[in-house]
Amino acid sequence: MANFALKDRSAIVGVGESAYGRKLMRSAIDLAADAIVGALDDAGLTREQLDGLVVSFGSPIGADGDTLAQVLGLNLRAYNQTWAHGRFTGSCIQWAALMVNAGLADAVACLASVSFSAVRRPMMGGGGDREGGREAGGGHGEDPVFGMTSPGAGAAMVARRYFERFGADSRALAAVPIAFRKHASMNPHAIMREPFGIDEHQRSRFVCEPLHLLDYCLINDGAACVIVTTAERANDCRKSPVYISGMQPLPAGREEFIWSYPGMGIAQQSVFEYQPELQAVYKMAGITPADVDALFTYDAFSILAWIALERWGFCKPGEAAAFTQNGRIEVGGELPMNTNGGLLSEAHIMAWNHQVEIVRQLRGECGRRQVKDASVIQWANAFGDSIVYRR
Amino acid sequence: MPQNSYQKPLPAISSLNKPYWDGLRNRELMLQKCNGCGMIWAPPSPLCPACWSRKFTWTRLSGRGRVSSWVVFHQAYFRSFEGDLPYNVAEVELDEGPRLLTNLVDIGNDAIRAALPVEVVFDDVSDDVTLAKFKPRAA
């Protein structure tokens, strides 16, 4: 019997970010300082009260956690950082929630910081491709020998498989980046704010067919941070806590591929009709998908929004193409997604910007793009991890 | 320039996957087959991913399969692929089960279809390395 004793026992109490931009001419460490200082200020906590740090997307591409602790003069009881992969965003917050409840730390800053403009290219896909050089092709299923490089190629492979299996197409998929760009148009912090339509999506060049340029996220500079503490300590902070109500960790194995759910038949996955039962994150939070007021997901590529909707049971396999049409995933629709504009249009901060937006939505701080009466928001990914937040 | 100056990335050959690459040199598509449960798998493993038996045999496969998915690159991440644009990369599901990433040859990118029957061709790209590519075959 699962033990859900940690339901609502931890909370995010502060969020912060740097400026986001294509080329900020600032190092990842520099940007991280803005996000951490901002998040502590938002929480009403001091540097001395911060005793834990989890750096997501750390070395060798993002801000190195060891360096951060040194140069910011932090005094940490608990510290960790992850491989430079965006998949670990939810895991970092979950570890922080476990740490504060185990008494290993009181307040944990969780963040990612990137200065992609300062990284010598190519960083992913190309001559320096450490990812594709991993023995089983790495998490993105790459193989440079055949020119199968870059994270987007794996997503394109899933998109083609999905189109063929369920009869969907690129025009239907355009609804996802169009919706997120609309959200970004209401977000002054977003990098890409000009709305576009289906024709513009279709005219944008192919990068890895069937995905167009407008199916791809941004490559940019920026940092975003959240502060996690216990529910008890959260009451003493400056603003209303956002509780971590449900958690589901990141799966791995032969039936998993980063950009698809089991049964899709990508890489070494089996082929079967995936039918999600009520996932553990809902059982822990005591809700069902119908209770979710807004859904946030790792949208490095547009197809991931469809995969996430089906993986988490918001619609059945093959139905996401229809589900995402006619404004249903836009603010004001039945299930708003990525109201910040996502990785596709706000910024690619490994979705730490999404966590910041979730907290602000649950506090009612989002102005024109505020989801009315938002009380339960879910972070849930194509790759199978999730957090349910509530105010 | 020496005649065999192949510019594209070459595989990282390890103790685990060396029999696979040696097989291709000998015009044989080889993967591991478990002596216990019979599973045939890719990529190479130190033990059977299904039953964890360490008793396995590198086994010659039919070299036949079907396209399970594919993409077409319109952007090169390696300069050595620039001249090939637009080029395809496919996942081929072998008749024996495992899927391999590969390039499809003797077919236009627009003619690629799901479930297209294909068979292996051996591409000697350097003195030491042969790649398994696939071409269409009669069903």
Q: Answer whether A279's CB lies under 8 Å from A314's CB.
A: no
Phi, psi of A119 (to 5 degrees): -80, 130
Residue B1 scores a pLDDT above 50: no
Residue numbers in chain A where pLDDT is lower than 70 = 1-2, 120-130
Which stretches of chain A sit within 8 Å of chain B by CB?
A: 122, 125-127, 129, 132-133, 135-137, 141, 143-150, 153, 156-158, 160-161, 164, 205-210, 254, 265-268
CB contact under 8 A, A145 and B9: yes
pLDDT at A92: 98
Test the B interface: residue of A124, A145, A206, A215 with most B CBs within 10 Å: A145
Residue A277 DSSP code: -
Chain B 84-113, residues with CB within 8 Å of chain A CB atoms: 84, 86-87, 89, 91, 93, 98-99, 101-103
CB contact under 8 A, B101 and A127: no
pLDDT at A105: 98
- Structural domains of chain A sorted by starting position, each given as residue range(s) with its CATH number in brackets: 10-390 (3.40.47.10)
Gap between the Cα atoms of A326 and A111, Å rounded: 34
Q: Which of A290, A348, A357, A374 is nearest to A61 (CA)?
A: A348
Domain map of chain B by residue range?
A: 15-61, 62-139
pLDDT at B57: 98
Gap between the Cα atoms of A180 and A195, Å rounded: 9
Residue A265 region by backbone torsions, left for phi larger than 0, else alpha for psi between -120 and 50, else beta: left
pLDDT at A118: 84
Identify residue A211 by its one-letter amino acid code.
L
As a whole number of Å, the end-to-end CA separation of chain B is 42
The token pair at A113 is 């910081």
Q: Which of A76, A5, A47, A10 is nearest to A235 (CA)?
A: A10
Residue B128 DSSP code: S
Helix pair A303-311, A151-166: axis angle to 10 deg = 60
CB contact under 8 A, A143 and B73: no
CB contact under 8 A, A205 and B74: yes
Q: Which of A116, A176, A178, A182 is nearest to A151 (CA)?
A: A116
Q: What is the mean pLDDT of chain B?
A: 95
Predicted-complex ipTM score: 0.96
Assign B36 to helix, strand or coil: coil
As a whole number, mean pLDDT of residues B115-136 equals 97
Identify residue B12 by its one-letter amino acid code.
A
Residues from chain B contacting residue A208 (CB–CB below 8 Å): 71-75
Gap between the Cα atoms of B10 and B4, Å rounded: 13
pLDDT at A124: 61
CATH architecture under which domain B62-139 falls? Beta Barrel (2.40)
More confident residue, A137 or B43: B43
pLDDT at B38: 97
Residues 6+ apart with CB under 8 A from A133: A144, B12
Assign A337 to helix, strand or coil: strand
Residue-wise pLDDT tens digits, B94-116: 999 999 999 999 999 999 999 99
Of A129, A145, A160, the CB nearest to B71: A160
Q: Which of B134, B123, B94 is nearest to B27 (CA)?
A: B123
Q: Which of A186, A203, A170, A188 is nearest to A301 (CA)?
A: A170
Gap between the Cα atoms of B30 and B83, Å rounded: 30
pLDDT at A123: 58
Q: Does B38 touch chain A (CB under 8 A)?
A: no
pLDDT at A85: 87
Q: Which residue has the tokens 């070299």?
A: B63
CB contact under 8 A, A147 and B81: yes
The token pair at A375 is 């009380």
User: How far is residue A87 from each of residues A69, A92, A119, A139, B107, measured CA to CA in Å?
Assistant: 23, 10, 20, 9, 36
Residue B16 scores a pLDDT above 70: yes
Gap between the Cα atoms of A90 and A93, Å rounded: 5
Q: Does B122 touch chain A (CB under 8 A)?
A: no
Beta-bridge mates of residue A337: A295
Q: Answer whether A62's CB lies under 8 Å from A114's CB.
A: yes
pLDDT at B2: 47
State the sign of the Cα–Cα–Cα–Cα dihedral B65, B69, B72, B78.
negative
